[in-house]
Amino acid sequence: MDILSLLTEGKTTDKQKIKIILALAVPAMIENILQTVVGFVDTLFVSKLGLAEVTAVGVTNAIIAIYLAIFMAMGTGTSALIAISVGAGDLDKAKAIAKLSTWISGTLGILFGVVTFFFAEPLLRLMGAEPKVLADGVVYFRIVAVPSIFISLMMVFGSILRAAGDTKTPMKVGMWINVIHIALDYILIFGLSVSPGFGIAGAAWATVIARAIGTIALYVCIRRSKLSFSFRKRGAVGVSLPLLQLSIPAAIERLIMRFGQVLYFGLIVRLGTDVYAAHTIAGNIEIFSYMPGYGLAIAATALVGQYLGANRREDAYRFGMLTTGIAVAFMSFVGILLFVFSPFAAAWFTDRNEVIEMVTTALRIDAFAMPFLAIGLVLAGALQGAGDTKSPMYSTAVGMWLIRVVGVYVLSVALGMGIAGVWLSIAIDVAVRAGFLFLRFSKRLRPDKQVS
């Protein structure tokens, strides 16, 4: 959808706004669902190798999530500034931001690849990985994360297109690379009749090849878009500081979240391999519930940013609130599905009854947190679209460290509640964050209130 043309029109009704929201959000939802299906299938395939391999991938991905935190922060800053610039009709500035963020993201990807090459084993030991888990984890970690430049560039290229209101192109690219990923996953993990599989290393290589193809495809799409930029031409002066001012709080917010996850993941590992495997399986099933929220958050970032850039504050606020309402409806329904079908989903990953019971407990607790998760995801995106990356940072700091980490220790370790304590802590964290972000968004964007 070309939002540029919509910005020149008069006021829109709520019904028209909902159509605009869904036109942007549905392709983003589909893209996220396809990506999640790949992660789901990847974990499902790895689970056939054994629970130790599942744990190795889970522990490794907890560290890679820290890398993603930085890359996502660049995407957040990029999205906010491009959305505002496009809304204001300044495409030259939007192109300069796209070019600068590409350079920074590429450099960060190379640096994290070097860190992985030299420190893969110490980082996994820090996570408390057991010897068998460590051996598999080092192999998987190095293959997947040394070429981190593909992760960083894929994320920023997708952010550039979505911020300009183009959510269909990343979806189409995602469809093709996910099909390729799943096919490579099976072939490289299990092999074919003419060649043996590579086990967990095969899963890693399938991921890297798919990411490389996705990176190239998205860059080609940008070159054909209205935000096409040249690396040879000098960019507009003055975009570096605003980009860093938005990206740094977003990076801090992501790092707070990821380091908190590393800490409480470490606590879960110490509860036993079975508990950690159950937590990993539950997380891979639960991630499907995020898809409506993520898609609608992307729409909120683009719409709030572009309408504020066009100096249409009332429309920006209304778009944020309507998007939140849609997300709550979607994710409440998903919560019902989680509650009912969690035992069946868990049985796809393992036939061990005690692990299935733990996964079911986790997901049924999580089902009640879905409406709050919807509010938190969408309003964080809306605030970032408005150029406020500090409020999500504050909510994450309090929620992750004062509620989630402490809650996991008290409920799971001290009181012996096991996986139920872990997911109760997560649910409380999600609810508190939702309340804070709702208040912050209302105070910052409501037309009758002005808060810096």
Of 33-47, 306-320, 370-384, which has the strongest mean pLDDT?
Answer: 370-384
pLDDT value of residue 1: 47
Q: What share of the chain is helix, strand, coil (3-state, %, to 5)?
A: 85, 0, 15
The whole-number average pLDDT for the span 373-394 is: 90
pLDDT at site 452: 44
Percent of the chain beyond pLDDT 90? 24
Please report which residue ranges of 147-239 form alpha helices under DSSP H. 149-163, 168-190, 200-223
442 has pLDDT over 60: yes
pLDDT digits (tens, 9 = 90+) for 171-219: 899 889 888 988 998 899 888 877 788 888 898 899 899 999 999 999 9
Counting residues of the chain whose pLDDT is more than 70, the rounded percentage is 94
Residue 449: the pLDDT is 56
Q: What average pLDDT is seen over the chain?
A: 84
CA proximity to 94, closest of 23, 149, 165 = 165
Helix (H), strand (E) at residue 195: strand 195-196
Tell me: the pLDDT tens digits for 344-367? 888 887 778 888 888 899 899 999
Q: Which among 324, 325, 305, 327 has a CA at the least distance from the CA of 315? A: 305
Q: What is the pTM of this model?
A: 0.76
By mean pLDDT, which of 106-120, 159-173, 431-445 is the weakest? 159-173
pLDDT tier at 319 (50, 70, 90 boundaries)? Answer: very high
Query: Tens digit of pLDDT for each residue in 119-170?
Result: 988 888 887 777 778 888 888 899 999 999 999 999 899 989 988 888 889 9
DSSP 232-262: SSPPPTT-HHHHHHHHHHHHHHHHHHHHHHH
